[in-house]
Amino acid sequence: MVEFRKSLSPKQLLNLLKAEKNTHKALALFYSASRQPGYAHSPTVFHHVLRRLIDPNLVSHVNRVVELIRTQKCECPEDVALAVIKAYGKNSMPDQALDVFRRMDEIFGCKPEVRSYNSLLNAFVEANRWDKAEQFFAYFSGSRGVSPNLQSYNVLIKVLCKKRRFEKAKKLLDWMWSEGLKPNLVSYGTLINELVKNGKLWNALEVFDEMLERGVTPDVMCYNILIDGFLRKGDLEKAKQIWERLLEGSEVYPNAVTYNVMINGLCKCGKFNEGFEMWNRMKKNEREPDLFTYSSLIHGLCEAKNVDAAEQVYREMVESGVSPDVVTYNAMLNGFCRAGWIREFFEVWEAMGRSGCRNVVSYNILLKGLLENQKVDEAISFWEDFLGKGHIPDCTTYGVLIHGLCKNGYLDKALFILQEAKSKGADLDIFAYSSMINGLCKGGRLDEASRVIDQMGKHGHKLNSHVCNSMIDGFIRASKLESGIHFFGEMRNKGCSPTVVSYNTLIHGLCKAERFSDAYLFAKEMLEKGWKPDMITYSLLINGLSQGKEINMALNLWKQALDKGLKPDVTMHNIVIHKLCCAGKVEDALQLYFEMRQLNCVSNLVTHNTLMEGFFKARDCNKASHMWARILKCGLQPDIISYNITLKGLCSCNRLADAMRFVNDALDHGILPTVITWSILVRAVINNGVNI
């Protein structure tokens, strides 16, 4: 117990309380003085103590202080009662605030004025008691003697916004103007903020424009809210327009938050270079970057694979005394990992260790990076270190590890980790299982893959198309086509519908086995089931059918692909042109070449080489020569294949002198003859008995 002088006065106690920065110790002084004989607290002392009790850990003392006021019968001004109502309001205790409001005259000897009404109204708002707040406002506005003021209506606007009654909130603003209340920055800012939060960006912009028209100057926060809202929605152009309006104004300037919003938004919209330029502008305008600025920019630059710039920002961050957090460190780790900067990666890793900033995400990035760079032994070593330090892997850790081990051919190690995780009841997601199944299928271990599927089902994971497609591909790789077809047929019974990839995998297998009719039937089934065959489907079928000499069926499929609105790429055009040339349909191939333009598909050197070879095989040297001319006209550079096709064609037409001119032309363009080139010329000389 603290001892005081017998002549302690409230003024002396107030000075002691103000000097004591520790609230708990200040309370001890206060309570000790309360027990001092002949001493009574003044309203000023009560007010000082109550204002320090807003903290959630201290609000329990408020009732005890109020009881002291009541028993001491200390008449207090409204400010003391307000401190009590605000303390309860800030701690979401509106019922206690209401009780004090009702008993103000009894406890404090004063009647509630407009500030007390507003404080209680705000207490209901703080506790998300919107209906109660609206009811109280109705009582307030209808009571005698006290009228709502601008602050009261601002709270009501907030209530209406929280209840998503934006139209009513807007009408209230209009009414306030008509009644001469003159809404202020808070009135408009509240509505703009809540409209943006609810995705009503254009409505918010209309309110913002009206605000300016009414002569209410927005603060930088209003601009920040709108810019952030449009950036989150991906409307970069509108965000930039608001940014420009902010720069054009003479009363408000961008602050650090504005730059942070712009940098973060630009990076998330993929405009990483613009984000970097904004950062330089921020520094030029002497706005101090903070952790959020650095973190946003580093993450964005790493995503853009501009690791040089990200490292520059990171170094500057460290030099400026801003300590990176684990999110920033992880962004740098990921960037270095993707770029293959192993030394820099481990420098950051060590710095993270020194500052105690590693988390499970850090280890996930580390393991993924090592496994993607085929450093399997190091990955396993870090995995064991991770477990040895008592860290708990999450589902991503297991997924990354199992996937990486399978990709590197360490199927047994991956299977061991999977089984060990299951035995420990660890968190395994579908990615870990599908990676394991895919690895086993590619390794031809189909029985083990089937067992993992069974285990997956027992642990509550449903089959998905990735797993099923891996199994179908595995059966086809193992030349178990019938098993693949059977598994495909059972997919729906297992609760998993086939996808385009499922059909494509099966069609590919059937074409390889030269079962073209069956492949065609599966493509037909795709259409009947509502699936839209893609370019891969048609490429597989057309290529397969063409190899099987089913050129007419392949051309029907080509026409079907066009009728479905698909846009064949140059590779698919080249396949069909090649097959037509092989079948002796060179004129049809040429017609397809001319139609490429209508589909906005640009022919390449392979297209021209294929047609040129087709005309030479058809002994049409004239049209073959025209194709050579088209190669040059299209700005393409003939390669050694182009020259070999031409040489072979000319030699077959007994035009050996022309062939030699092409050999010289190739040498003039720096293209060296190959064994095939000389073989063509030697064979021509031998066959024709000509001395060149």
**Rounded-to-integer distance, Cα 35 and Cα 39, Å:** 8
The yes-or-no verdict on residue 550 having pLDDT over 80 is no
* pLDDT in the model for residue 539: 67
The average confidence (pLDDT) of the chain is 85
Contact (CB, 8 A) for 575 and 542: yes
**Rounded-to-integer distance, Cα 229 and Cα 193, Å:** 9
Lowest mean pLDDT among 408-422, 437-451, 518-532, 650-664: 518-532
Q: How many Cα atoms sit within 13 Å of 218 on the Cβ side? A: 28
* pLDDT in the model for residue 194: 92
DSSP string, 265-312: HHHHTT-HHHHHHHHHHHHHTTPPP-HHHHHHHHHHHHHTT-HHHHHH
Pairwise pLDDT comparison (529 vs 465), residue with the higher score = 465
The yes-or-no verdict on residue 545 having pLDDT over 60 is no
Closest by CA to 351, choosing from 328, 379, 385, 335, is 328
Going by pLDDT thresholds of 50, 70 and 90, the confidence category of residue 666 is confident
- The predicted-structure confidence for 214-265, as pLDDT tens digits, reads as follows 988 889 999 999 999 998 888 889 999 988 988 887 788 888 888 888 888 8
Provide mean pLDDT across the span 465-473.
88
Tokens of 187: 């009135």
Computed from CA positions of residues 8, 11, 12, 15, in that sequence, does the dihedral angle turn out positive or negative? positive
Going by pLDDT thresholds of 50, 70 and 90, the confidence category of residue 269 is confident
Pairwise pLDDT comparison (389 vs 189), residue with the higher score = 189
**Distance from CA of residue 191 to its chain's centroid?**
29
Contact (CB, 8 A) for 91 and 57: no
**Distance from CA of residue 535 to its chain's centroid?**
28
Q: Which residues contact 57 (CB under 8 A, 6 or more apart)?
A: none
- Kindly list the distances between the CA atom of residue 245 and the CA atoms of 22, 220, 226, 239, in Å, as whole numbers in the listed order: 47, 11, 12, 10
Closest by CA to 278, choosing from 233, 242, 243, 320, is 243
Lowest mean pLDDT among 222-231, 515-524, 554-563: 554-563
Q: Which residues contact 206 (CB under 8 A, 6 or more apart)?
A: none
Provide mean pLDDT across the span 544-568.
67
Provide mean pLDDT across the span 6-14.
83
Task: Tell me what percent of the residues of the chain surpass a pLDDT of 70.
Answer: 93
* pLDDT in the model for residue 547: 59
The yes-or-no verdict on residue 523 having pLDDT over 80 is no
Closest by CA to 187, choosing from 226, 214, 147, is 214
* pLDDT in the model for residue 79: 92
- The predicted-structure confidence for 340-361, as pLDDT tens digits, reads as follows 888 888 888 888 888 888 888 9
Q: Which residues contact 356 (CB under 8 A, 6 or more apart)?
A: none
The yes-or-no verdict on residue 375 having pLDDT over 60 is yes
Going by pLDDT thresholds of 50, 70 and 90, the confidence category of residue 546 is low
Computed from CA positions of residues 284, 290, 294, 296, in that sequence, does the dihedral angle turn out positive or negative? negative
Going by pLDDT thresholds of 50, 70 and 90, the confidence category of residue 554 is low
Q: Is 499 left (phi over 0), alpha (psi -120 to 50) or beta?
A: beta
Task: Tell me what percent of the residues of the chain surpass a pLDDT of 90.
Answer: 13
Could you say which DSSP state residue 109 is in? S
Could you say which DSSP state residue 145 is in? S
- Kindly list the distances between the CA atom of residue 491 and the CA atoms of 431, 447, 454, in Å, as whole numbers in the listed order: 19, 17, 14
Pairwise pLDDT comparison (497 vs 562), residue with the higher score = 497
Going by pLDDT thresholds of 50, 70 and 90, the confidence category of residue 541 is low
**Distance from CA of residue 608 to its chain's centroid?**
43
607-611-612 Cα angle (round to 5): 115
The burial of 19, by beta-carbon neighbours within 10 Å (0-12 exposed, 13-18 middle, 19 or more buried), is given as exposed
* pLDDT in the model for residue 500: 84
Domain residue spans of the chain: 1-148, 639-692
The yes-or-no verdict on residue 285 having pLDDT over 70 is yes
The yes-or-no verdict on residue 411 having pLDDT over 60 is yes
Contacts by 173-180, CB closer than 8 A, 24 or more apart: 173/207, 176/150, 177/214
List the alpha helices (DSSP H) in 478-604.
481-490, 500-512, 516-528, 535-547, 551-563, 570-582, 586-595
Q: Which residues of 393-420 are buried (b: 16+ CB within 10 A; e: fewer)?
A: bbebbbbbbbbbbbbbebbebbbebbee
Pairwise pLDDT comparison (335 vs 139), residue with the higher score = 335
Provide mean pLDDT across the span 9-25.
89
Provide mean pLDDT across the span 54-63.
89
Q: Which residues contact 208 (CB under 8 A, 6 or more apart)?
A: 188, 192, 218, 222, 226
* pLDDT in the model for residue 142: 67
DSSP string, 551-568: HHHHHHHHHHHHHTT---
With respect to CATH, is domain 1-148 assigned 1.25.40.10? yes
- The predicted-structure confidence for 90-101, as pLDDT tens digits, reads as follows 998 989 888 989
The yes-or-no verdict on residue 278 having pLDDT over 90 is no
The yes-or-no verdict on residue 48 having pLDDT over 90 is yes
**Rounded-to-integer distance, Cα 97 and Cα 177, Å:** 31
603 — phi, psi (to 5°)?
-70, 155
Going by pLDDT thresholds of 50, 70 and 90, the confidence category of residue 573 is confident
* pLDDT in the model for residue 86: 92
Could you say which DSSP state residue 457 is in? H
**Rounded-to-integer distance, Cα 565 and Cα 526, Å:** 16
- pTM for the structure as a whole: 0.61
The yes-or-no verdict on residue 490 having pLDDT over 90 is no
Q: Which residues contact 390 (CB under 8 A, 6 or more apart)?
A: none
- The predicted-structure confidence for 593-612, as pLDDT tens digits, reads as follows 898 888 888 889 999 999 99
